[in-house]
């Protein structure tokens, strides 16, 4: 057992490098903003006794963007940043199970200014690909609200990686959505415009777009007209529009008292 070094120099300030580029959503980041004991403000402002001041570098919460935001990450990779804590939000994918391409990345290579060769990545990417199932002379049932006679059968269904919901008119079409949706989903009126596949969460993807490096934004502008339009609309979105993307209450229903 190692002895405690009472002569060690106390840590007055520390960098927390928070990566959200793993496979998964950003629920940890969103949840952290609602913490109260302590709050995130107490931590980053050095308001907690016996704890160092924390410099939080999170792509959603940082005021820095692009190359300025990535500077601390590059310093850490070069061994020039001490001390720091690395936080990876989401699953870490296996990057060794394919000949080329990658599942997740952050920023650009400091030497080349490129993230990777775009054409090679597209060959191994499922870009905006969603399975839509249709049936003739039959119908699908809702897994969210199945008929009482089929509730037990519906409960035995297992969803892995997708969330099937009824779509279109009637019950002959199912969308395998990458996120949890209600049956017969529609684009929310708060959405300022389509992003990539119309099933995304506008707030999260808009924030992700704003954290792109300058080199990535240049590449996005030059790739095609639709990508350029998405970037320009997001960069020019006013604060009040961003606030609308955070969430809205459509309506409330009262709980019914159970009858004996």
Q: What is the pLDDT of residues 214-236, one digit of tens each?
A: 888 888 888 778 888 888 888 88
Sign of CA dihedral 43, 44, 45, 46: positive
Residues 6+ apart with CB under 8 A from 160: none
What is the tens place of the pLDDT at every residue in 140-169? 999 888 999 999 998 898 887 778 899 988
Q: In this structure, are 48 and 100 located in the same domain?
A: yes
Does residue 255 lie within any of the structural domains? no
Answer yes or no: are the C-beta atoms of 41 and 111 closer than 8 Å. Answer: no
Q: In this structure, are 171 and 199 located in the same domain?
A: no
Does residue 257 lie within any of the structural domains? no
Calculate the alpha carbon distances from 237 to 18, 208, 230 in Å.
Answer: 25, 14, 11
Q: How many domains does the chain have?
A: 3
Q: In this structure, are 163 and 72 located in the same domain?
A: no
Does residue 241 lie within any of the structural domains? yes
Q: What is the structure's pLDDT at 249?
A: 62
Q: In this structure, are 118 and 19 located in the same domain?
A: yes
Closest to 223 measured CA to CA, from 198, 202, 215 = 215
Q: In this structure, are 96 and 25 located in the same domain?
A: yes
Q: What is the structure's pLDDT at 176?
A: 85
Average model confidence (pLDDT) across the chain? 78
Does residue 63 lie within any of the structural domains? yes
Q: What is the structure's pLDDT at 253?
A: 59
Q: In this structure, are 218 and 193 located in the same domain?
A: yes
Q: What is the structure's pLDDT at 259?
A: 46
Q: Which domain holds residue 163?
A: 132-177
Does residue 254 lie within any of the structural domains? no
Asked if the model's pLDDT at residue 244 lies above 50, the reply is yes
Q: Which residues pair with 23 in a beta bridge?
A: 91
Q: What is the structure's pLDDT at 115?
A: 59
The mean-pLDDT minimum among 47-51, 59-63, 247-251 falls in 247-251
Asked if the model's pLDDT at residue 1 lies above 50, the reply is no
Does residue 84 lie within any of the structural domains? yes
Token duo for residue 4: 């405690």
Per residue, what are the HEC states of 23-44? ECCCHHHHHHHCCCCCCHHHHH
Q: In this structure, are 88 and 164 located in the same domain?
A: no
Q: What is the structure's pLDDT at 251?
A: 60
85 or 252, higher pLDDT? 85
Does residue 5 lie within any of the structural domains? no
Q: Apex CA 178: angle with CA 122 and CA 158, to 5°? A: 125
Q: Which residues pair with 87 in a beta bridge?
A: 18
Q: What mean pLDDT is predicted for residues 22-40?
A: 78
């Amino acid at each position: 057992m190692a002895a405690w070094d009472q002569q060690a120099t106390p840590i007055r300030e520390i960098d927390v490098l928070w990566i959200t580029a793993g496979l998964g959503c950003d629920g940890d980041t969103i949840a952290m903003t609602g913490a109260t004991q302590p709050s995130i403000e107490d931590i980053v402002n050095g308001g907690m006794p016996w704890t160092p001041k924390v410099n939080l570098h999170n792509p959603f919460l940082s005021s820095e963007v692009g190359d300025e935001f990535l500077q601390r990450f590059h310093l850490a990779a070069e061994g020039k940043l001490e001390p720091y804590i690395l936080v990876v939000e989401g699953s870490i994918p296996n990057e060794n199970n394919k000949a080329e391409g990658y599942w997740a990345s952050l920023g650009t290579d400091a030497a080349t200014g490129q993230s990777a060769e775009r054409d090679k990545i597209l060959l191994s990417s499922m870009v905006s690909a969603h399975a839509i199932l249709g049936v003739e002379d039959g119908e699908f049932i809702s897994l969210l609200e199945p008929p009482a006679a089929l509730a037990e059968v519906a409960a035995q269904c297992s969803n892995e990686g997708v969330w099937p919901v009824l779509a279109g008119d009637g019950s002959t079409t199912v969308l395998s959505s990458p996120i949890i949706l209600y049956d017969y989903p529609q684009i929310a009126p708060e959405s300022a415009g389509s992003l990539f596949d119309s099933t995304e969460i506008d707030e999260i993807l808009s924030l992700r777009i704003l954290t792109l490096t300058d080199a990535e934004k240049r590449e996005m502008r030059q790739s095609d007209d639709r990508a350029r339009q998405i970037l320009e609309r997001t960069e020019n979105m006013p604060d009040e529009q961003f606030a609308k993307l955070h969430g809205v209450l459509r309506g409330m229903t009262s709980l019914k008292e159970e009858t004996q």
